[in-house]
Structure formats: structure tokens, C-alpha cells
Amino acid sequence: MIRINENYLKLKASYLFADISRRVTAFQQANPDKKIIRLGIGDVTEPLPEAVVAAFHKGVDEMADAGTFRGYGPEQGYDFLRDLIAKEDFQSRGADISGDEIFVSDGAKCDTGNIQELFAGDIRIAIPDPVYPVYVDTNVMAGRTGQNVDGRYEGLVYLDGTRENGFIPELPGEPVDLIYLCYPNNPTGATITRAQLKAWVDYARENKALILFDAAYEAFIRDPELPRSIYEIEGAREVAIEFRSLSKTAGFTGTRLAFTVVPKTCMAYDGQGGAHSLHAMWNRRHTTKFNGVSYPVQRAAAAVYSPEGKAQSRALVDHYLNNAAIIRKEMTALGYDCVGGENSPYVWIDGKMGSWDFFDMLLNKAAVVCTPGAGFGSCGEGYIRISAFNSLANVQEAMERLRAVLK
Ligand code: MLT
């Protein structure tokens, strides 16, 4: 008899964004004439930068020619891309990361979800609340939690994000081994200072813990004082793995390219006195389970780091940041408390009512989709997240509709 992994039964029936999508589809079917404006899932709307498109085409042409055709590439990514990433994203900012510490992949969602395979089943895990649901669900699937009781899984150490702490949770009050952090934060848009991040790095060093740092939104940081990588913090090479993505940085949500940085100095322990290289372990996993990102996509990704690609990607991000500023300004003017929307594409809004009620109201009365904060954890109840990923015209129209409904 084929038996299931019963840990799946602990999960909510569907993934948050799949759930939202189902409600939106039902609304559209019932209201076929309504133009829905989607400010829910953080999915980019603007086309790829020109320099990226040109490199993408060229990569495809190379695949069409017997002289330049390529089959399987290195699972970790081509050196031309890994070295460029190391130089442009890290070394240029004083972070000591080399090309062979970069693992190119097809998504930060997959990488942040898969990384937990490297760790023991009984480690103590600290999870911020609210949080990107992938970190929690993948640990549930792996059997590292008990049941969900009142919206929280038994066995996890939740780190509360609240208005009072600016959605930057305090260090855990009990010992933990693995810590998930994401800054600029999804969903709250909060950013972390160097001093605050250093406190986490110091904690991890003192406790032989590991930080999984999701920096998928670092391109939205415009404040020069804020760290863009955890490796800008002294000592982080020993205790942190960082996840990056071109999805939001350069419009790659449909093109797919991300990377994970696993420094060679980053260790985990076997409980019998042995220290093991996480770089070697992730390399083992990656080469076993992944065959690399396609060559044209890696060429397209490399173009993001060319002078034209950098300017064009920055303009893309500026476009979304401008939308975020509009959303924040409008919602504040309507009397709502907002976090984020500066150095971040997400605006986190105290809706002053249940999250799903606010979501339903915006959908039914304004045909605008947001994301209910409760979908990111108990501390998200009462909040909604509005994403800046859309055209300026749609954001302006959405704000007009919200003004009509909310004032
Ligand atoms: C979000 O809306 O939170 C993101 O689009 C999710 C993701 O990047 O997977």
C-alpha cells in the first residue's frame, strides 16, 4: 500500500497565493465586466530590460548554431555569471564572496524551500511572524513541526513582528539553531539596519546557529546606510546563507533566475564534534537534484550586470518604488498606518479590521486585489499587504477606487 507523507495533512489545503488566486477567479467569473487590478502577489508587470532581451536572443541564437550549441551546463551555473555576480553584488560592496560560492538556480522560492534538507529533523527553528509562508510550509512537509494549533505550528519558535518593534523581531528568548530572516521584508516591507543585523550575526556565532537570509528585495534599497547583503556584516561568512533573485530586481519572474550564496566557511555540526561544510553539502544536493538554468537565461542574467543592464534594471525598480510611494502616501492620507513602501515594493497596512474581511471588501467593492496579512501568520491578522508591482496607470486607478470605497 502506498502511504502518504502525513506531514502534508498538517498543512492548510492550499498555498496562500493559490488560495487568493482561486477567490479572484471566482470573482471574475461572477463579474466578467469588471477590470480587476492585481496588487496581490508580487509579480512584475513591466517587460525585461532591453539589454537583457538582446543577450537572451543572442543566447538562443548560439543554441541554434552547431558551432556554439551547448548541452548540459555546470549545475552551479556558468562561471561567466557566477564570477560577475560575486564581483558586482558582493565584492564591490566589500563583501568577501567568490564566484564558486554562488549557486545559480531557477528561483529563491525553491532554494529557500529546499535548503532545509541539509539540517537534522530535530533542530530548533526560529520563524518570524508574519513571514513568507514557504519557510514554514517546507519545514512542516519535512516533519519538523507538530500540528497547527490556532494558526501556529507546534515545535517552531515564532518571533513576533509587531507595530511596536517595527516588524524587526527581537532575538529569541530560547536557544535556536536555524533562523529565517528576510530584508527588505516580505510581507511587511520593513528594513533592517546594520546594527540590528549584526546582533543576529553575533547571536548565530555565539550559538553555532545558522541564518538563512532572504535578500530577494535588496535591489529596492535606496538608503545607502542599509545593508544589501548579510555579508556586509563582519563574521556573517561563518553563519549565514543568502538567497537572491532577479525576479524583482530585473523582471525575471517568468524568466527564472536566482542564486544562493553558501560561503565555504559556513559550517553545520553532527553532534559528535564534527563540523561539516554546508557549501560541500549544498553542492552535493544541487548536483544531484538540479541540472542548471538554461544557457540563454544565464546570458540574459549576465546582461543585468552590464552598464546598460544595470541602468535599465534600476529604472525598473525605480518604477515600482514610485508606485510604492504613491500607495503609501494615499493609504496614509486615508488614515491608515503604513509600514514599508520605502526601500521595498510592499506596503503593509493596518486595515483596522480582519485581514480577509479587508481583502474581500477591496475585491468586491473596488475590484482591487491585495494580500491578507493573516496569510503570513497570526501577527499579520488585521493587516493587508499592497504590492507595487503593476503599471503606474493601474496603481493610480486602484488608488482612486480605494479612495472612493474607504473614505
Ligand atoms: C509574494 O507575493 O510574496 C511573492 O511574489 C512570492 C514569491 O516571490 O514567491
pLDDT tens column, 209-264: 999 999 999 999 999 999 999 999 999 999 999 999 999 999 999 999 999 999 99
Nearest protein CA to atom 5 of ligand 1, as residue: 42
15, 85, 21: which is closest to 243 by C-alpha? 85
One domain, residues 111 and 206: yes
- In this structure, the answer to whether residues 313 and 217 fall within a common structural domain is no
Query: Which of 20, 21, 43 to mutate to test ligand 1, by most ligand atoms within 8 A of the CB atom?
Result: 43
pLDDT of residue 33: 96
- If asked whether residues 180 and 321 sit together in one domain, one would say no
Span 164-220, pLDDT tens digits: 999 999 999 999 999 999 999 999 999 999 999 999 999 999 999 999 999 999 999
Probe target for ligand 1 pocket from 19, 39, 41, with the most ligand atoms within 8 Å of CB: 41
Q: Which of 273, 290, 306 is the last residue of a domain?
A: 306
Amino acid 149: pLDDT? 94
Q: Report CA-CA distances (Å) from 193 to 95, 139, 205, 227, 281.
A: 16, 28, 19, 7, 31
Going by CA atoms, what residue is nearest to atom 1 of ligand 1?
A: 42
- Is there a single domain that holds both residue 131 and residue 161? yes
Look up the CATH number of the domain holding residue 11: 3.90.1150.10
Residue 248 Cα: closest atom of ligand 1? 8
pLDDT in tens, 22-67: 999 999 999 999 999 999 999 999 999 999 999 999 999 999 999 9
> Whole domain around residue 252: which residue ranges?
53-306
Do 199 and 301 belong to one domain? yes
Q: pLDDT at position 266, please?
A: 98
CA of 185 to the centre of ligand 1 (A): 11
Could you tell me the distance, in angstroms and rounded to a whole number, from the CA of residue 71 to the centre of ligand 1? Answer: 31
Q: Is residue 385 part of a domain?
A: yes
Q: What is the pLDDT of residue 391?
A: 98
Cα separation, 340 vs 345, whole angstroms? 8
Single residue among 259, 280, 306 that ends a domain in this structure: 306
Pairing of strands 102-105, 258-261: antiparallel
Q: Residue 205: name the closest of 265, 282, 260 by CA.
A: 265
Å from CA of 134 to ligand 1 middle: 10
Q: Report the SS3 class of residue 275.
A: strand
Give the pLDDT band (50/70/90) at residue 84: very high
pLDDT at 77: 98
Within-domain flag for 398 = yes
The total domain count for the chain is 2
Nearest CA to ligand 1 atom 4: 42
- 52 Cα: distance to centroid of ligand 1 (angstroms): 22
Residues 63 and 101 grouped into a single domain: yes
Ligand 1 atom nearest residue 43's Cα: 5
Check: pTM over 0.90? Answer yes or no.
yes
Q: Are 169 and 128 in contact (CB under 8 A)?
A: yes
Pocket test for ligand 1, best of 21, 135, 186, 371 (most atoms within 8 A of CB): 186
**In a shared domain, residues 245 and 200:** yes
Strand partners, 387: 346
Q: Which residues contact 180 (CB under 8 A, 6 or more apart)?
A: 112, 125, 126, 127, 128, 131, 135, 212, 214
Q: How sure is the predictor about 155, in pLDDT bands with cuts at 50, 70 and 90? A: very high
216 contact partners, CB below 8 Å, separation of at least 6: 108, 182, 186, 243, 244, 245, 247, 248, 258
C-beta separation of 173 from 203 below 8 A: no
Q: What is the ipTM of this complex?
A: 0.93
Distance, CA of 185 to CA of 344 (rounded, Å): 8
Within a domain: 1: no
Between CA 372 and CA 367 the distance in angstroms is: 15
The pLDDT of residue 15: 84
Q: Compute, in angstroms, the gap from residue 288 CA to the centroid of ligand 1.
A: 27
Q: Decide which of 278, 306, 334 is a domain's last residue.
A: 306
Question: Which among 113, 36, 62, 51 is positioned nearest to 285, based on CA atoms?
Answer: 113
Q: Are residues 94 and 43 in the same domain?
A: no
pLDDT digits (tens, 9 = 90+) for 350-391: 999 999 999 999 999 999 999 999 999 999 999 999 999 999
Same domain, 271 and 356: no
Whether 396 is in a domain gets the answer yes
pLDDT in tens, 201-215: 999 999 999 999 999
- Quick: pLDDT tens for 6-30: 999 999 878 888 989 999 999 999 9
Question: Per-residue DSSP letters for 35-87?
Answer: --EE-SS----SPPPHHHHHHHHHHHHHHTSTTT---S--TT--HHHHHHHII
Q: Is residue 20 part of a domain?
A: yes
pLDDT tens-digit map of 99-135: 999 999 999 999 999 999 999 999 999 999 999 999 9
Q: Residues lining ligand 1, CB < 6 A?
A: 41-43, 109, 186
The Å distance, Cα 273 to ligand 1 centre, comes to 39
